[in-house]
Chain A
Amino acid sequence: MSTAPDPGPVQPLIRCVGITKRFGSLVANDAVELTVLPGEIHALLGENGAGKSTLVKMLYGLMKPDAGHIEWKGRRVDLVNPEAARALGIGMVFQHFSLFDDLSVLENIALGTPGARADAALADRATRVARTYGLDLDLERPVWTLSAGERQRIEIARCLLQEPELIVLDEPTSVLTPQETETLFASLETLRARGAGLLFISHKLEEVRRLCSAATILRGGKVVAHADPRAETAASLARLMVGEGVSDVRAKAAVGSGPAFLVVDRLSVKPEISHGIPLREVSLTVRSGEVVAIAGVAGNGQSELFAALSGEGGMITAGTITLDGADVTRLAIGQRRRLGAAYVPEGRLGHATLPQRSLSDNITLSWHETENVGGWFLSLERLKQAAGAIIHRFDVRGPSTDPRAAQLSGGNLQKYIVGREIERKPRLIIVDQPTWGVDARAAALIRQTLVDIARDGAAVLVITQDLDEAFEISDRIAAICGGVLHTPVATASTTREAVGLKMTSTDRQAEVAA
């Protein structure tokens, strides 16, 4: 299992031989070996920071390896830029879409296709490709009206128009609902059957086990195993990825054990940015002692909801927000903190923290309104002490005793940010994407912490794209879609499919029928 598979009689499509890439003192890829055969869906597995993105960037000519080389169909090649990679037949579908919101689907396809214009000929080709691979596309629609799944289909169609033989997909399912994921898998299966090789980057192990026939697992920049995911369990793959076993979250809070703390009543918000999502009559109650999760695909109003609940922005046109009975609809974030609220925004650097400041400096951001940070003159000693306590309690690991926020890994920084809020002993904590891009161990610790403080009597609201996470930690769960929040239901009495369905529907009545 831990030796490279014999390429066998089939000529490999691409082979990486001893690929090494360094960034300063960090070895992002250490003598990586990877082989993808035609007609194979090959998984590239690893935690965040394992070196997947670096490897893929070299495969697509965006970076050059410091050592080692790449072979394309047995011949050594030098991928100097993405054009060279595309000319060979390597296509790439990025995790983050590069689309122009104001242009139509066809215009976006034309922009990504060298030498093409948005004319009838291209529309013809695009329609043909879309039909062959089951990609449902309306070429005339402007992109800003499309869901994440539809946007991804544009990227895939754009890639397929170049007729690539190897297609690299970087975490393609991270923004999709379960139903959209099914559609994607059907298209990928068609591609595979037609002889293309696919490199599927993911950390969702169940998907990999279903879809892929081979896997290369990276940890800390090194290949730790080549495996057949169909012969492994999700747990055994996770062990390979993470190193040691990752514990499950223990003991959920008792359902609705306390009085309502956060009450949102028919809240409507006008977005501040163009193409932002307006919130439409959002109603929600979070009681002390429970965890409520809001599940949804990114870009369906979560950021707007978080901003409205925290008091950071957005024009509230109707409705009210109350904290412990007090109307806070018009209050600033500081005043809401005084009433016992704490907030963890999605953006770790530049939103939750000042990237170039030390962790002790960053305490001030969310503490100055309610905690003793020395008054008008900040007490550096007090701040250092507070940061030290959080670092110790939440096992934050950094390069020094008081590192700058930007020096921490995603997981360690998130532990610090969550810790900073918990240390304030909030009565309500609202967390947007608690474990997005966080390594498995830190994610487990953060989820456990949220469940624990709910059990200790705090009201916890989690906004997440990760449906598994929502099910793991919440007592009640609500789906959000297009700025409409569905009524929360008890997590124990619903299914992933039912929630997934609501994640694609803006019809609040539909759930009654479902």
Chain B
Amino acid sequence: MMGLTLVPRTKVSRLREVVTPLIAFAAALVIAGIVLKAMGKSLMVALQVYIIEPLTTSWGLQEVILKATPLTLIAIGLIFAIRANRWNIGAEGQYVIGGLCGGAVAIFAHGWGGFWVLPLMLAAGVAGGVAYGLVPGVLRNRFGISEILSSLMLVYVAELLLDFLVRGPWRDPKAFNFPKSVNFDAAATLGPIVEGGKLHWGVMVAVLAVVVALVMLGRSLFGFAVSATGEAPRAANFAGFNDRVLTLQVFAISGGLAGLAGVIEVSANIGQLQPSISQGYGFTAIIVAFLGRLNPFGALIAAVVLSMLLIGSETAQIMLKLPFDMTRAFLGLLLLCVLAGEALTRFRLVRKP
């Protein structure tokens, strides 16, 4: 029997690192094209829907950026946690709690609030995300509970809490029994950057987060401590970086940024609280963080590419009559290709002797 095995490369060239994701992307396109062709769909329409329209029309481009904003914010936070080898799978929950806390301020101030509402909302969203993110961190430090499980399970707690609130105490009495809160006032709405445009100030916040994260991870002692803890915990301990404090720090950062993404989305895009305020951003952001190779700038690029495909998938359901599951399968295909490419940059595939 002939087998294949992976052998580490002695040297990885810079060129290979840059070109590989592009080749992986192209390979995913080719495979998806073959599948679409076999299904009897038009490749031209598919290309139009997935790539050309989102990138060339002003509507499409704005939608892509709007979707990439929460993805980028959450992914930036996750990069800190993952680099420290702390697995925060619960960004979705922290995002929901952020939106919920910010929304609470808006509902509370409904009808009488002033200029202070928006800053207070953002602060409440961040604080909510931090507090909710700290729970798995504290559980890990105090009881040694796996943060993977606790953070994931807290997602469902957050979602059900939001569901309860918008069906019960926070429901808009004038909404004909629909499970949603009152519409936020103008004072509680994060406005557009350009009057009349769709892009809101949250986009700028995401870009700022990328820049700050780049500096912190690349140049600061804190960033070094984060990476050292992930790469070699004993060496980090030798350096005197406190592992428990660091756990809380990275959970606070990732929870806070997820909460910020949540409150921005609620305030700028949705304008009220409703049972569903996320489209799985917290989970998709994990993919974004990895596709971006745990680099903030990489995450920004990955967020744009993924949101382009997500928007393409929505259109494809209508234009190509593709089943919803098919569009999800294409996302999985892309992820597989990129990960395979990643492996092949560092390893060579050779025949087993």
- Cα of A293 to Cα of B235 in the assembled complex, Å: 24
Given contacts A350-B234, A352-B235, are A64 and B220 in contact (CB under 8 A)?
no
Partner of B240, one of A333, A356, A361, A377: A333
Q: How many A-B residue pairs have CB under 8 A?
A: 67
Partner of A368, one of B215, B221, B227: B221
> Distance (Å) between the CB of B250 and the closest chain A CB?
17
- A412 contacts chain B at the CB level, 8 A cutoff: no
- Cα of A312 to Cα of B233 in the assembled complex, Å: 11
- Cα of A337 to Cα of B353 in the assembled complex, Å: 52
Q: Which parts of A340-386 form the interface with B (CB within 8 Å)?
A: 343, 345, 347, 350-357, 361, 364-366, 368-369, 373, 375-378, 380
Q: Say which size band chain B's interface belongs to.
A: 10 to 19
- A332 contacts chain B at the CB level, 8 A cutoff: yes
> Distance (Å) between the CB of A495 and the closest chain B CB?
36
- Cα of A376 to Cα of B10 in the assembled complex, Å: 34
As a 0/1 sequence over residues 236 to 256 of chain B, the CB contacts with chain A under 8 angstroms (1 = contact) are 011110100000000000000
- Cα of A26 to Cα of B240 in the assembled complex, Å: 37
> Distance (Å) between the CB of A229 and the closest chain B CB?
36
- A142 contacts chain B at the CB level, 8 A cutoff: no
Whether A334 lies near B221 (C-beta < 8 A) is: no
Which residues does chain B contribute within 8 Å of A377, judged by CB atoms?
215, 219-221
Whether A343 lies near B220 (C-beta < 8 A) is: no
- Cα of A185 to Cα of B219 in the assembled complex, Å: 56
Partner of A354, one of B221, B222, B232, B242: B232
Whether B10 lies near A24 (C-beta < 8 A) is: yes
Residue of B nearest to A379 (CB): B219
> Which applies to chain B's interface (DSSP): helix, strand, loop or mixed?
helix
> Distance (Å) between the CB of A101 and the closest chain B CB?
21
Given contacts A24-B10, A354-B228, A376-B220, are A365 and B239 in contact (CB under 8 A)?
yes
Whether A376 lies near B221 (C-beta < 8 A) is: yes
- B231 contacts chain A at the CB level, 8 A cutoff: yes
- B283 contacts chain A at the CB level, 8 A cutoff: no
- A25 contacts chain B at the CB level, 8 A cutoff: yes
> Which applies to chain A's interface (DSSP): helix, strand, loop or mixed?
loop
> Distance (Å) between the CB of B113 and the closest chain A CB?
38
Q: Which parts of B308-353 form the interface with A (CB within 8 Å)?
A: 353
Which residues does chain A contribute within 8 Å of B220, judged by CB atoms?
376-378
Q: Which parts of A302-321 form the interface with B (CB within 8 Å)?
A: 310, 312-313
Whether B224 lies near A378 (C-beta < 8 A) is: yes
Which residues does chain A contribute within 8 Å of B222, judged by CB atoms?
376
Q: Which parts of B98-155 form the interface with A (CB within 8 Å)?
A: none
Given contacts A64-B353, A333-B240, A334-B240, are A351 and B224 in contact (CB under 8 A)?
no
Whether B219 lies near A333 (C-beta < 8 A) is: no
Which residues does chain B contribute within 8 Å of A312, judged by CB atoms?
237-238
As a 0/1 sequence over residues 53 to 72 of chain B, the CB contacts with chain A under 8 angstroms (1 = contact) are 00000000000000000000
- Cα of A368 to Cα of B236 in the assembled complex, Å: 12
Whether B240 lies near A337 (C-beta < 8 A) is: yes
Whether A365 lies near B234 (C-beta < 8 A) is: no
Which residues does chain B contribute within 8 Å of A369, judged by CB atoms?
240
- Cα of A354 to Cα of B215 in the assembled complex, Å: 21
Whether A333 lies near B238 (C-beta < 8 A) is: yes
As a 0/1 sequence over residues 211 to 224 of chain B, the CB contacts with chain A under 8 angstroms (1 = contact) are 00001000111101
> Distance (Å) between the CB of A467 and the closest chain B CB?
27
Which residues does chain B contribute within 8 Å of A334, judged by CB atoms?
240
As a 0/1 sequence over residues 278 to 321 of chain B, the CB contacts with chain A under 8 angstroms (1 = contact) are 00000000000000000000000000000000000000000000
> Distance (Å) between the CB of B237 and the closest chain A CB?
6
> Distance (Å) between the CB of B310 and the closest chain A CB?
34
Which residues does chain B contribute within 8 Å of A343, judged by CB atoms?
238
Given contacts A364-B224, A365-B228, A377-B220, are A351 and B234 in contact (CB under 8 A)?
yes
- Cα of A350 to Cα of B240 in the assembled complex, Å: 14
Which residues does chain B contribute within 8 Å of A332, judged by CB atoms?
240, 242
As a 0/1 sequence over residues 187 to 230 of chain A, the CB contacts with chain B under 8 angstroms (1 = contact) are 00000000000000000000000000000000000000000000
Which residues does chain A contribute within 8 Å of B237, judged by CB atoms?
312-313, 333
Whether B10 lies near A351 (C-beta < 8 A) is: no
- Cα of A354 to Cα of B226 in the assembled complex, Å: 12
- Cα of A312 to Cα of B240 in the assembled complex, Å: 8
Q: Can you pick out 6 interface pairs between chain A and chain B where the beta carbons lie within 8 Å of each other? A: A352-B235, A354-B231, A357-B231, A365-B239, A373-B221, A376-B222
Report which A residues bind B (CB closer than 8 A): 24-25, 64, 310, 312-313, 332-334, 337, 343, 345, 347, 350-357, 361, 364-366, 368-369, 373, 375-378, 380
9 further A-B contacts with Cβ under 8 Å, apart from A337-B240, A377-B219, are: A333-B237, A333-B239, A334-B240, A351-B235, A354-B227, A365-B235, A368-B221, A373-B221, A377-B220
